Structure formats: C-alpha cells, structure tokens
Structure 1
Amino acid sequence: MNTRHATIEETDDAAPVEMLGALFEAHGWSCEQVSDDEVTGEVPGSWTTYQVRAIWRAEDKVLQLLCLPKVTVSDDKRKAAYELLALVNEQLWLGHFDVWSQGNVLLYRHGLMLGDDGLLSLDMAQMAIESAISECDRFYPAFQFVLWGDKSPREALDAALVDAAGEA
C-alpha cells in the first residue's frame, strides 16, 4: 500500500481511492489499490466479511462503491431473489442491491457524486463504508432465508427486519 495514506489528516480531503486506502489501513482492514482509479478490500460485518470495491470515474466525479457479501444466487432461486431485491430496495434511502449478471453475485451499490475538486473527506469516506456495511448486515439474513431457508421473499424480509429491530 502507498505510504502516502498514513499522512492524510482528519481535516484533509484527498483523491477518493487514496482516502479509502488510508481509511482501510487505519482500521487494519486488508486492502489493495488495484489501479489509480480502484481500491478493493475486506471489511468485517456482523454476519460475514464483505468485499468492498471503490471505483473512481474522474470524468463524472463519481465514486462507485460496491459491497459484496459473498452470496451467489442459484438459477432455481433467481425469481425469489429478484422479488426480494425489489422489496429490500424499497427500504433503502441510498444505494441499492442487485445481482451481478457475471456470476450471479449479490451486491450493494452506491454512487457518491463528489464536487468539482473530486476530493473525498475522511468523514464522507467513513460514512459511505459504514452505510454500505450497515445495509448489507441489515438485509443479509433476508437473503439467507430466501436462498437457503426456503422462505418466501416477504416472509424473509419480515423476519430479517424483526431480527434487526431486536438487536438494538
């Protein structure tokens, strides 16, 4: 990892990939800067460890954040998974869940539009990662219930939201 990450101060803004690399490093999460425009790492959640990828599109000033909970949707569960996706996405204010067509992998995706300077603050980076992990943790049980527990999408969502409400 680039040693410049360690020099980012709490009040500094930085290039998005550099800031996220520094954030991962500060938390002790494994990460790799794939390119100047992409960083990937692993972040522990309540249910599993999530692969988090961030891809910077400089021309649009957009940082795309992907969080993958290591869940694959089998062909026989695809219809139920898509129905659950629709129900889950109704619950979200930011980002959305999707099934990636390459490999049928479940993912959470959120795009952050940055200002003209294209810089990311430490607070914004922290909030973006926390939000992605929080949403994945909140709905992970629902996907488990549908994909492995043979619950209907509505039953799975209701059970997951009741469980989440009980954890406070």
Structure 2
Amino acid sequence: MTSETHAESRHDDAAPVDMLIALFEARGWPYEVIGEDEIGGEVQGAWAKYQLRAIWRREDNVLQLLCLPEVKVADDKRVAMFELMSLVNEQLWLGHFDLWSAGSVLLYRHGLMLGDDGLLSISQAQMAVEHAVEECDRFYPAFQFVLWGGRTPAEALAGALVDAAGEA
C-alpha cells in the first residue's frame, strides 16, 4: 500500500463512537449514544441477544468493547464459573471473559488500541463487534451447561466445543 493510498483509506476513518454508530445504523441494530465517548446497543447472536457497549478512552487511544450475553451467575455457581472462564480464556486469542463483581454478570471484554490519531475504520469496527459476538456464541453453551446443566467446567467446555465443531 502506498502512503497516498494509506492516507486516502485513513480519510474514511472516524472517531470510534461515530464509526460504531455508522455500523449499528448500517446493520439496523438498535443503539443508544450514552455519552460523547460511549455507545450501547443490542446484537442478536445465535443463542441470545447480546448487549454491546463500547467506551472510548481518549487519553489512552483505547476502545473497550464489552459484550454481555445476559448471563447472571448465582453465588453457588461462582466458583465453577471462574474455573470455566479460566478454561475458556485459554482458548481465546483476543479479549477475555470476566465476571463483574457488581451484579455477578458475565461479559466478554476486548480493548482495541488505536493509532495516535484515535480513529477507527469500518472494517476494524465490524471485525471487533463480530468477533465479540462470535466468542459469546461459541462459549454460551458452556456457560449454560455449568449454570443449568449440572456439568463440571471441563465437561461444559468439552461439550460446547464438540457442539460448535458439529454445526454446519
């Protein structure tokens, strides 16, 4: 890519929240601008509707993307879920699953470091959102197997990965 072509392609980039608004509008996904540096929306995955939230930290040029599969963890399942999240996170190249201490809500979190200009391209926005939804979809069954199926974390992960490999 020549520097002129690179400069032209960067011309189409935008502030992260603005680019995410454009993506959500193009896909017809409901969203809400929460503030100058934050957007929330809803995306339908294979297993559930996911709440998506993006927070832009200008001072660090980092866009934090959160995807919440609306899974709440009861106190008696917390230890098993932490074990499962550890096993799941070993499978991930980008982002990680976490359990918010406030409300015991499961979430997928990924931070995108943007360049010095702090701009996001449409392809970066699309890939980040799609990746978050795909990871939530990939491991959603494992979380449900532990919470509702009475499986151990290792059994839940093995069952979810076998099920995912069998999908066409």
- TM-score band (shorter)? over 0.9
- Mapped to 2, the partners of 1:33 and 1:12 lie a distance apart of 21
1:63 matched residue in structure 2: 63
**Equivalent residue, structure 1, for 2:28:** 28
Q: Would you say the 8 A contact 1:64–1:110 is kept in 2?
A: yes
Q: Does residue 103 of the first structure (1) align with residue 107 of the second (2)?
A: no
Once the 2 structures are TM-superposed, how far is the Cα of residue 85 of structure 1 from its aligned partner?
Answer: 0.4
CA offset at residue 14 of structure 1? 0.3
Question: Please, what TM-score do these two structures have when normalized by structure 1?
Answer: 0.93
Partners of 1:156 and 1:108 lie apart in 2 by: 18
Matched to 2:130, the amino acid is: E
2:140 paired residue number: 140
1:107 counterpart letter in structure 2: L
Please tell me the residue identity of whatever aligns with 1:30.
P
Deviations 1:26-70 (A, max 9, x none): 100000010000000000000000000000000000000000000
Following TM superposition, the consecutive aligned residue runs of length 4 or more in structure 1 with deviations greater than 6 angstroms are none
Residue ranges of structure 1 left out of the alignment (5+ in a row): 1-8
Q: Which runs of 5+ in 2 are unaligned?
A: 1-8
Give the match's secondary structure for 2:85: helix
Match of 1:130 in 2: 130
Q: How much identity, in percent, do the aligned residues show?
A: 72
Q: How many residues align?
A: 160
Deviation readout 1:117-157 (Å, 9 max, x if unpaired): 00000000000000000000000000000001110000000
Deviations 1:75-120 (A, max 9, x none): 0000000000000000000000000011000000000000000000
Q: CA RMSD in A?
A: 1.3
Query: d(CA) in 2 for partners of 1:101 and 1:24?
Result: 29
| 1:54 alignment partner in structure 2 | 54
- Structure 1 segment 8-19 matched on structure 2, within 5 A: 12-19=12-19
- Contact 1:11/1:121 (CA < 8 Å) preserved in 2? no
TM-score (norm 2): 0.93
Could you tell me which residue of structure 1 aligns to residue 154 of structure 2? Answer: 154
Partner of residue 113, structure 2? 113
Question: Residue 88 in 1 paired to residue 106 in 2?
Answer: no
Amino acid at match of 1:88: V
Q: Is the 8 A contact 1:11 1:122 kept in 2?
A: no
* Distance in 1 of aligned mates of 2:36 and 2:12: 19
**Counterpart of 2:74?**
74
